[in-house]
Amino acid sequence: MRRIMLIAIALFTVMALAACSSGNSASQDKETASEQSAPNFTLTDLNGKTHSLKDYAGQKVYVKFWASWCSICLAGLEEVNTLAKEEQDFVVLSVVAPGYKNEKDTAAFKKWFSGVEEAPDLTVLLDEGGKVAEQFQVRGYPTSAYIDSSGKLIQTLPGHVGNEQIIEKFKTIQ
């Protein structure tokens, strides 16, 4: 009986980790061609304000795709919030996809997020049904997208990325 419990716990742990980031990061680390523009999107934030990627023309943009059920994402919320409120040479946006890949529906997400104290400065955009996540080929959460000032998608990268790494990456991006 004890052996079965240990196997069940190990299996649950592996499944939980796989849910947040699926696959091998080397195969998902996507360097895009320099002439490929980032997919444009127009999404609404939690306050009802519309944001379009075109609004940030001429600026570098960091987009963090995440989910409320992803423990790695939740552990990194405070860190990405810190990045969003600091003066940087890039804009920080985060995208959640209600109704997509087991994310809560919009009303449930908004209610849940209203109780999250770790991210008061984070712009959270709602990607209903995950259309933008699909355009950016997000396969697991969290995923980072780096967009240069001309609107080119430089890289998408699955998994957690710390603020220092994000800042260093943007130092190499025009």
CATH number for the domain including 45? 3.40.30.10
Note the pLDDT tens digit of each residue in 10-36: 444 444 444 444 433 333 344 433 458
Find out whether 38 and 145 touch, Cβ atoms under 8 Å: yes
Per-residue CA distances from 17 to 4, 23, 124 (Å):
20, 11, 24
Note the pLDDT tens digit of each residue in 57-87: 999 999 999 999 999 999 999 999 999 999 9
**51 is in which domain, residue-wise?**
2-171
* DSSP states of 88-148: -SEEEEEEE-TTSTTPPPHHHHHHHHTT--S-TT--EEE-GGGHHHHHTT--SSSEEEEE-
Count, in order, helices (H) and strands (E) of the chain: 6, 8
- What total number of domains does the chain contain? 1
Q: Rounded CA gap, 68 and 85, in Å?
A: 21
Chain centroid to CA 69: 13
